[in-house]
Structure 1
């Protein structure tokens, strides 16, 4: 039976008296709770309701959403670290096969982000979090079995890696779900936490997997734990979503807004820029362990207290932590300016890498890559911050058009679509490196290509979004 709940009764002050209406306004929102943890009447823009009930409910859902998305990123990027350990487990892979195992999850995950974006409105945020977390059990379990037998066909390994792409889809559904819970004034904070919590999953996988498969192994190599160690946490995420998360009946899929956004040229420009920032982050995060193993095999792992430790996790970690600061600086100086600065530092990082590789110094190599990761992370935050500003400016430029879909709806749809397209960079970056290695036997040619691409993207950002244009109502973004 549906249970209505309203906070219309006045609060009691510390003195035991009811405050006057001029101090606290009674919320007008009334929630109805239905079986299956469905909530009707959700209105986070009602300030009194938000203070009395809404914030606590939204934060509870945010916490479990972050945890589920965090595990999604782990499964999505698991093969980035597993690939470099397969030779120790008796597998013999070519460079091309290794890069396919690293990049295919990103290709599948980016593609799944499109349907996952609309799954929340179709099935409910709580319900889809349970389902999407449960799907992670398949690649995690299958990986544990497959890597125990060096005779496992490469096609089977590739299929299991592809199944790991379901973790990449989790980002889109998680971000869409949290968008519905929070008021406009707090969406940036909530979505920033949600995104950062997910991105850190890559670093955690690259940190903990080498430790888990070697700690206490007593001469054996328990590589199957690379997949199985996450199963208990996935079950906890499913239980937490079932027990503590909610479905909002007000969450509706905006297909008209998405269709309108796809017709907007600025969506495609921003998608390309996001491939350059987020795509570079997720792409480099995926290949970093292999690049270290190829260029500096003696530094691929360090033995600490009987366990192996890889420093590859540091790249994804600093990139994830830098993302919120990119958004914060974009708020102060403008998203386009910060995106231009990010691409400039990415060029500097790539050039430094090219020029210092002949030195053969691992620590210089690591420093150049960490600079590159910081720049991609800040670029993620700055580029993502540009999207609502662009669509707000487009709204001012098209004011008076009675047939235009509201720019707020376009902007909301564009966030999901651009995040999906940008994730394809996780496939492109490894494959460019693979092509470079196949053609030249090394990776320098690929990094020259990245320098050229970042220079083009930096120029596009400056020309289109820093120079005032009539199509953006004369605004700088």
Structure 2
């Protein structure tokens, strides 16, 4: 038997009589301060979650000797962890409250960051240990399913599209932030006191001295600051829902349909964010034996005149576009409704995936053909990220409109949990089948989601407009 939240939740941490739908009593200042603190910590969560995606493509260049399959699995592991952990985090907001959940989660990020910082300094870690560290990085992904529902408790429905879009979108910037800053941080010798330098082998170039531990250690102080801010400044909204009650969302067909739609959008965003660098490297870079033969200083360019793209320097662009789209389109979903933008997102994904498929088998006949193919690949991938980001914003507008307040938080957590398997599913898919086949499956899935969106949510007279 559940106990009313107001009887169990007393003390300075818990807000009493909190009703965001009552404009006379709603404290907008408290709501917005909660949003900014949790967004800061969520950004750190995404940085930690996608740190392996910035490190794994260069492990062999640092002296490790893993196969392409092993590297895909390692880049996929944070996605598997995040999906599993989100199922745990989705039930935490009513149990722990915003304050404890955010503070404890942000502090836990220190452990995978510390582990990666230590293990990149020498190529001696066994494969299983790096897989464990990749799994622990998934704590940052798991947090999303707790942070987002708890933030939704602070805002009225009319503002949840903007509020959740800002939090998720700015949090998603953590993906591009870690991928953008890693190439700069690893070359910053002034942080050399954090450990020894490494020699990184570059195909066709002289070895480069780097401090790869900086990519992980740099974020630890920010995590400690974020945990302290959450502990001292956040409050919690008492929501009457025990764990059993939260799972009544599964009797609602819209829970399952919105899960499919969010897999299409965030599953695509997170999956490609984790695998973008490896995919670029294996198609148009040093991982393609038809372009580059050998590794390190002995590597030979087989295609004269072709410049191998620096995947590490370009990989941040996709997540940046996707996160930016989520932020920019969130206010439009409040104004126009989420369903129409989810429909646009699905149609855009179908077109952009089809365009990108034309570049998934590189033409190695000449340097100009390779350059043209890479340009198509890059622009097609950025278009996929754009439409996935739009859909991320629109689906999070739909859920608070389709479900009542208590259920909406659980559905947000559940859909986010399943979509977080994106990096894992993309990694396994690209390991087991060709990129062309995998992308063709993506088109078929997007077509199904477009049909669901139109019939259930977007058409005139739809059963559940939102």
Normalised by the length of structure 1, the TM-score is 0.80
- Which position in structure 2 is the counterpart of 1:378? 390
1:48 equivalent to 2:13? Answer: no
Q: How does 1:231-242 map to 2 (within 5 A)?
A: 231-242=220-231
The whole-number CA distance in structure 2 between the counterparts of 1:240 and 1:300 is: 41
What is the CA distance between 1:389 and its match in structure 2?
Answer: 3.8
The whole-number CA distance in structure 1 between the counterparts of 2:339 and 2:163 is: 22
Is the alpha carbon distance of 1:171 and 1:156 closer, same or farther for their aligned partners in structure 2, counting shifts above 3 Å?
same
Match of 1:264 among 252, 271, 286: 252
- Which position in structure 2 is the counterpart of 1:226? 215
- Which position in structure 1 is the counterpart of 2:446? 454
Asked whether the 8 Å contact 1:346–1:375 carries over to 2, the reply is: yes
1:367 equivalent to 2:387? Answer: no
What is the CA distance between 1:183 and its match in structure 2?
Answer: 3.0
Is the alpha carbon distance of 1:166 and 1:475 closer, same or farther for their aligned partners in structure 2, counting shifts above 3 Å?
closer
Match of 1:301 among 299, 310, 316: 310
Which of the pair has the greater relative contact order for Cα pairs under 8 Å at 6+ separation?
2
What is the CA distance between 1:134 and its match in structure 2?
Answer: 1.0
Q: How does 1:62-73 map to 2 (within 5 A)?
A: 62-73=35-46
- Which position in structure 1 is the counterpart of 2:4? none
1:291 equivalent to 2:279? Answer: yes
Match of 1:155 among 128, 136, 139: 128
What is the CA distance between 1:195 and its match in structure 2?
Answer: 0.8
**Superimposed CA distance per residue, residues 110-155 of structure 1 (whole angstroms, 9 cap, x where no aligned partner):** 2211221222322221122111011101100011112222121100
The whole-number CA distance in structure 2 between the counterparts of 1:128 and 1:456 is: 36
Give the match's secondary structure for 1:220.
Answer: strand
**Superimposed CA distance per residue, residues 295-349 of structure 1 (whole angstroms, 9 cap, x where no aligned partner):** 23255438xxxxxx61110100110111244444445555333223212211211
Q: CA RMSD in A?
A: 2.4
Task: Work out which of the two has the higher radius of gyration on C-alpha atoms and give 1 or 2.
Answer: 1
Asked whether the 8 Å contact 1:258–1:414 carries over to 2, the reply is: no
- Which position in structure 1 is the counterpart of 2:205? none
Is the alpha carbon distance of 1:42 and 1:266 closer, same or farther for their aligned partners in structure 2, counting shifts above 3 Å?
closer
**Superimposed CA distance per residue, residues 408-463 of structure 1 (whole angstroms, 9 cap, x where no aligned partner):** 433342222112122222321221112124xxxxx222222222222222233333
Match of 2:236 among 242, 247, 250: 247
Is the alpha carbon distance of 1:130 and 1:335 closer, same or farther for their aligned partners in structure 2, counting shifts above 3 Å?
closer
Give the match's secondary structure for 2:18.
Answer: coil
Is the alpha carbon distance of 1:385 and 1:110 closer, same or farther for their aligned partners in structure 2, counting shifts above 3 Å?
same
The whole-number CA distance in structure 2 between the counterparts of 1:291 and 1:425 is: 15
Is the alpha carbon distance of 1:335 and 1:181 closer, same or farther for their aligned partners in structure 2, counting shifts above 3 Å?
closer
Q: How does 1:26-37 map to 2 (within 5 A)?
A: 34-35=11-12, 37=13
The whole-number CA distance in structure 2 between the counterparts of 1:420 and 1:171 is: 8
Residue correspondences, number: 412
The whole-number CA distance in structure 1 between the counterparts of 2:74 and 2:425 is: 13
What is the CA distance between 1:244 and its match in structure 2?
Answer: 1.9
- Which position in structure 1 is the counterpart of 2:428? 431
The whole-number CA distance in structure 1 between the counterparts of 2:96 and 2:341 is: 38
Asked whether the 8 Å contact 1:257–1:409 carries over to 2, the reply is: no
Give the match's secondary structure for 1:269.
Answer: helix
The whole-number CA distance in structure 2 between the counterparts of 1:41 and 1:190 is: 21
